[in-house]
Structure 1
């Protein structure tokens, strides 16, 4: 197949030691119903045969390129790939995942029909190499993120967790230039970029359809690298939530927090580093009510004021708690993004 001078979409695929999964991944790309693409595979210092395998594909198909990253790490590899892209549309892909056959066609069509949208994702299907019972957490996360479709849903839930599976996104190169590239640091490079883009006004949506099969495995980067630890997520979340709150908290609203468990207290400490200190904490556990969190009193949720008097930050992330908090607050007239937000 002859590569067009300017393909409609550039697939950016960073990889390192992906020999066990790369063929299946490559075959899913070759099976795309939309043919006008280029693949830029970025070798991040592999020591196995994965680069050799991809170069074998490139000898058969001129749309495929295999390059070596000039830096170290996924953020630098991704930025290098976007820099080398010949298209104005960038599709992310990972070496252990699978594209559904119409993925590129449907996401490109979506961006064409909605010029105001900067980034479009899709629902994903979890495929697991983990022992039975070890992928429950990922399964719950996939179910949660698959229910976020509109820009409003994505924006309102951005501080709960990352609203997208990274390899499911397609975005405009102009948006990448406008809102900024991936950053390298002690944080998940994708989540940091979503939070930064949303803070700067990017519009993001998700197609209500599974277009990617997302693999969970023991060696998944998000399981083993410190940049994807709970602490790393909480830190970057605190940074961008503090910026959001400084813009949206009305002067006449008092700041409250819901939750005093271990995770909630850690998140509260991180928020304090950015000058965000709740005046009070709410609890449902009678054993905790009457105590203090850093000199702020712990009160019963029955003592909560009206939406006109306080802004509530939900810090409790235990299973099922989020839904109960939302129900309680909205039954009292609180509105997400107006006088409450969830951080867990």
Structure 2
């Protein structure tokens, strides 16, 4: 079943792509199996991250970017990283409905991914899904994240180009943003420039944005309802994508290290769940029959033996 879906994805079957992503979201074991099977397959799409605080108009800009790129004959995939309502379990971002006008376009694939109950693991999930989307012949894959916190930072690390969208009069707000997302942005956009106050935001950015690896991040002004203002943004994205970007590989290496450590954590938790020895040590520490440092060191040695034993079996 998985092999069939993977082959259909390679043949640019959007229905198969949707089904495969659903399976990967629901079952981490299937996600791992898929990634192992497609390892080494050529991936085409260039990945662009749009991030920024809620309400700055990211979805409107992406809507225009999709239109312009597809009019140029390009195939575009879109991943929308959504928060999930704690009451209904659904997406909180109804404003993205406008993007669905592209759903019938054969050159566009749009998919929402909820942070669900595991926001810390969303970057791993998105990274794996991006690999699958890259198999499907997309020229560009756009990722939209909500907010400027840790999720946005982690997702930006797996993208070739990161666009940080702001709006006028945001000087104080920019200072409060997570430093990583400010530093990882390759292009800055001040949207909604028709409301005034863009000069102050641009001045703040120019005072705080530094040139890195030969690239000076441009600051683009846009107006959401004016599609023409988005064209310079696309030109800057193309310019950045055309350059050799050593920072991208550095970001990927850093992210991979984090993912490796996360996966080791997962394996350790799986090893401990239902482990009688683990329960015994918890009881001993609770009764002050052992200190927890000694208990953890013994459990660590047990875990190492388990890993070595499984390695020999393989």
**Which structure has more helix as a fraction of its residues?**
2
TM-score in terms of structure 1 length: 0.29
**Which structure has more strand as a fraction of its residues?**
1
Structure of higher RCO (CA pairs closer than 8 Å, 6+ residues apart): 2
TM-score in terms of structure 2 length: 0.31
